[in-house]
Structures are given as C-alpha cells and as structure tokens.
Amino acid sequence: MTNSYQGSATDPFAFKTPNMNEEAPRIVAADNQAQPVIVVHNLVKTYMLGQTRVNAMRGISLEISPGEFVAVRGPSGSGKSTFMNIIGCLDRPTQGDYWLTGRQVSRMSVAELSIVRNRLIGFIFQGFNLLSRASALSNVELPMIYAGLTKELRMSRATQALQMVGLGTRLDHKPSQLSGGQQQRVAIARSLVNSPSLILADEPTGNLDSRTSVEVMGIMQSLNRQGLTIILVTHEPDIAEYASRQITFRDGRLVKDEAVRQPRDAQAEWAVLSQQNPDE
C-alpha cells in the first residue's frame, strides 16, 4: 500500500482472510484516539443513468477525528447522499480510498461491508426505518441479532439503550404506537447497541417538528460529548448549527470545511422548552 496513512498497514483488527465466520468477530469498535475515524482520499463515484454518465463525486478527500460532530450540507445533487452511502458502506467508490478506523473498507467485499455496517456504524434515518411489526425492544435488538450476541446480552443492552433515550417504559410499544420523536429515539437506541465507532444520521430531524428536533439533537449532542463521532446530513442550516464542524458539497466537490465557533446547545434549549411547556 503506497498510501502514507500508517494505520491501515498495521491495524491489528484488519481482515486477514475473507473467511467471515472466523474473522468476523475481530471487527469490534476499539477506538484509538490518536487515529482519525474516517480518512477518505480522492473519492470518485461515477455511475450510468441510462446513457448519461453521472459524476456524483469528483475527488473528495477529508479526515474526521474521533469525537467530532460533523454536519454535511449541500443542495440536492451535490453528492452528499452518494458520500453518505459510501461512508455508510452501503456503496463502494469508483475510485479512491476510504479508511474507517484504520480499515481499508473501499476494498472490502459485500459480506465484509455488512460486518462493518453492523459493528462500526450506527445508522439514523430520516424516515426512522423501524420494523413496523416489531416492538421497540425487538427493533433495538436487531443489529445485535445480526452480530450474533446472546439473547441475555441482547435483552440487557436493548433495555439499557432504550432507557438511555428515555423510552424505558415503552419497550413493548410498536412503532405505530409511538410519536415521531419517540420513533427516532428508538432508532437512536438501535444505532448505539453494537457500540459503533461512528453514528451516521441522514436528515434525522427531517420528519420531526422543531420542538422534537431539538430533543433529538440534544440526545445526539450528549452522545457526542461522551466521545462518539457523529456525521449528520442535513439541509436545514439551524440543525447544522448543533454540529461542531460543517462541510459543504457542491457538484460532487467539497467546497467548504469549517469549524463552528459556538455550536448551539440543544440540551439547554430543550430544558427551556420543556420548562415552558412541560407536557412531555
């Protein structure tokens, strides 16, 4: 490997063989504070839409360090969705390299990427994406099922995670019996249970009212304060202000990368909101 990034060559957690059943448990989130969570180098994504060639990403390079709270902004068609899909290991780049916690994921097989999504990444979606038939507890259990955790461990962690997001009394509720904010909190609990290195939130407040948005952002900031790296995709400028760093895409290129000097404090705002109208 010619790249200067040192972590990739000597990473003790790197895949040694493609035999998943033997090697899979080696992927456990073990964050080394010294190395970046994400390193992408010259990412290019091109795909064919009928006869036309679409250049969704034209060479993107950046690093994200542990504990950062990054908001990804950009108009539709800017390549931010493609970027998120590749960062989330749902898609692979046409060219370029992507290291996640020191692992070269841009060269991994589909099966290995499943394990990476399962162990290293927690997803939060705009539409919550909960299984409608399953209870809150079962939904939160799901990533641990695919990780192969024991039933006792799954139950205790799922219960704990739901208690952390304030849904300890609604373990058996189906998504249809929960409000939008509550559903998103279930999704947050689900993203946390496998102790990921990275939370990817794709428009997490897109389907929520502003009051519930503050609540959800408060939880995310609280997670971030405990050292969890979060990447947040949003087109709402005020939601992006809760992050500590904003990067902006346009036409498949990174056009702006700046620190937010004074991020908004969602927990404080939420405290005010709940005092004004303490109906929650």
Partner 1 sequence: MSTTERAREASAKAASSNKQFSLPPLKAKDFDRAGKMSTNISIALEALWANRLRSMLTALGIFIGIAAVIAALILTQGVTASITNTISSLGTNVITIASGAGSKGPRGFSAGVASTTPSITAADAKLIAKVPDVTGVTPINSVSTQVIYGNQNWNTRVQGAMPIYQNIQSWTLSEGAWYTQSDEQSAKSVALIGPTVANNLFAVSGDDPIGKSIRIGSQTFLVEGVLASKGGGSDDVIFVPFSTSQNRLKNSTYVDQILVQVDDSSNIDQVQKDITTILDQSHHIAVGHADDFNLTNSTQLLQTANQFTSMLTFLLVGIAAISLTVGGIGIMNIMIVSVTERTREIGIRISIGAQRNDIRYQFLIEALVLSLVGGVIGMLLGFLIGYAATSALSLPFVISVNSLLMPFIISASIGVIFGLYPAIRASKLDPIDALRSL
Binding site for partner 1 (CB under 8 A): 20-21, 24-26, 28-30, 85, 88, 90-91, 110-111, 114-115, 117-119, 123, 125, 129-131, 133-134, 142-143, 145-150, 153, 157, 160-161, 164, 166, 190, 192-195, 218-219, 222-223, 226, 228, 265, 267-272, 275
Considering the complex, what minimum distance in angstroms separates the CB of residue 129 from partner 1? 5
Smaller CB separation from partner 1, 218 or 252: 218
Smaller CB separation from partner 1, 5 or 235: 235
Kindly report the number of other CB atoms within 10 A of residue 22's CB atom: 10
Smaller CB separation from partner 1, 71 or 161: 161
CA–centroid distance for 241 within its chain: 18
Is residue 71 within 8 A of residue 239, CB to CB? The reply is: yes
Considering the complex, what minimum distance in angstroms separates the CB of residue 78 from partner 1? 17
Alpha-carbon span 201 to 216, nearest angstrom? 11
Hey, what's the torsion of the CAs at 195, 201, 205, 208, to 10 degrees? -60
Alpha-carbon span 87 to 68, nearest angstrom? 15
Considering the complex, what minimum distance in angstroms separates the CB of residue 138 from partner 1? 9
Smaller CB separation from partner 1, 61 or 156: 156
Alpha-carbon span 186 to 202, nearest angstrom? 15
Considering the complex, what minimum distance in angstroms separates the CB of residue 153 from partner 1? 6
Considering the complex, what minimum distance in angstroms separates the CB of residue 212 from partner 1? 17
Smaller CB separation from partner 1, 147 or 217: 147
Alpha-carbon span 183 to 128, nearest angstrom? 6
Considering the complex, what minimum distance in angstroms separates the CB of residue 52 from partner 1? 19
Smaller CB separation from partner 1, 2 or 17: 17
